[in-house]
Amino acid sequence: MITMDNIIREGNPTLREVAEEVCLPLKEEEIVLGKKMLEFLKNSQDPEKAEELHLRGGVGLAAPQLDISKRIIAVHVPNSDPEIAEPTLSTVMYNPKILSHSIQEACLGEGEGCLSVDREVPGYVVRHAKITISYYDMDGKPHKIRLKNYESIVVQHEIDHLNGVMFYDHINEKNPFALKEGVLVIK
């Protein structure tokens, strides 16, 4: 199973590579990898398992963070309503692609972090507010979905990893908390 020891940290050149698309039909090892990535995220959000395995609570993971330069991401976004156990988005995406996006931009009010970055980097990470993406799931089935709010931010953060982009590349160096007119701040 995947633990923090398998996650490479900034400075490893793989995090700055453009990852390769996977071919269909998916190889067995690529399906197993996807399952393990999703399992890591679920474990990391389970208090007992996270403590036992020393995991940081994760909502998304990209294959390059495991030193595997392939266009595979996993996302497991819990429902903001603690009453609802069902996650709002929980899936593995093969060859995810942003087809279109809103003009409106958005950022997380608390800024971003990264499982591959062992330091705080303060500042707003401005992204598209809404995106339409295509991807293949573990069964090789094509999907085209629209995402907004937190899910949209998470998927953009993960797709960035497939293109060698880190969240702090988006932060305004002169004024990390500068915000243009009309950028949606997500709580």
Active site residues: 158
Nearest to 80 by CA among 170, 153, 161: 153
**Residue in 60, 64, 96, 123 binding ligand UDB, rule: CB under 6 A:** 60
- For residue 21, give the DSSP letter: P
Stretch that binds ligand UDB, among 10-18, 30-38, 95-103, 109-117 (CB under 6 A): 109-117
Beta strands in the chain (DSSP E): 60-62, 72-77, 89-101, 105-108, 127-128, 131-136, 142-147, 184-186
Asked if 59 interacts with Zn ion (CB under 5 A), we say no
Report how far residue 153's alpha carbon sits from residue 110's, in angstroms, rounded to the nearest whole number: 12
Asked if 7 interacts with Zn ion (CB under 5 A), we say no
Measured from the CB atom, the residue of 26 and 114 that comes closer to Zn ion is: 114
Pattern of binders to Zn ion over 104-123, x per CB under 5 A? ----------x---------
**Residue in 57, 122, 140, 142 binding ligand UDB, rule: CB under 6 A:** 57
45 binds, among Zn ion, ligand UDB, none (CB under 5 to 8 A by kind): ligand UDB
Asked if 153 interacts with ligand UDB (CB under 6 A), we say yes
Pattern of binders to Zn ion over 35-54, x per CB under 5 A? --------------------
Report how far residue 155's alpha carbon sits from residue 144's, in angstroms, rounded to the nearest whole number: 13
171, 125 Cβ separation under 8 angstroms: yes
Asked if 45 interacts with ligand UDB (CB under 6 A), we say yes
Count of other CB atoms within 10 angstroms of residue 11: 8
- 54 is annotated as contributing to ligand binding: no
Task: Give Cα separations from 106 to 17, 18, 119 (angstroms).
Answer: 26, 25, 23
Report how far residue 120's alpha carbon sits from residue 12's, in angstroms, rounded to the nearest whole number: 18
**Residue in 31, 68, 92, 115 binding ligand UDB, rule: CB under 6 A:** 115
Q: Which residues of the shown chain bind ligand UDB in the complex (CB under 6 A)?
A: 44-45, 56-62, 65, 78, 108, 112-115, 153-154, 157-158, 161
Known binding-site positions = 114, 157, 161
